[in-house]
Amino acid sequence: MFLKKLVRNSALTISYDHQGAILVRQGRIYSLNLQEQILGLKDDTQTIHQIRLSGIRAIEEVQGMNSLP
């Protein structure tokens, strides 16, 4: 289940579908809106990416990525 990986405060790599293309982002969970089913992912440049939960294909923990705040 994806939600188990989202509750940890570790760096993640998320692969997701956006308008027919598979995108991959790395970062930490910034926000999680279960009502609208949107995840906010903050990357190392402090950019927040909004990802629909239904589009998530895979979530992996990033090992040794301590540079993210």
pLDDT mean across residues, the chain:
85
DSSP annotation string for 1-69 = -HHHHHSS-S-EEEEEEETTEEEEEEEEEEEEETTTTEEEEE-TT-PEEEEEGGGEEEEEEPTT-----
What global pTM score does this model have? Answer: 0.79
| Per-residue pLDDT, 10 | 82
Quote the domain boundaries for residue 8.
2-61
Note whether residue 30 is domain-resident: yes
Residue with tokens 């027919």: 20
Share of the chain above pLDDT 70, in %: 80
| Per-residue pLDDT, 65 | 55
| Per-residue pLDDT, 19 | 92
Q: Please tell me the total count of domains within the chain.
A: 1
Note whether residue 24 is domain-resident: yes
* Residue 14: CB atoms within 10 Å: 23
pLDDT tier, 66 (very low <50, low <70, confident <90, very high otherwise): low
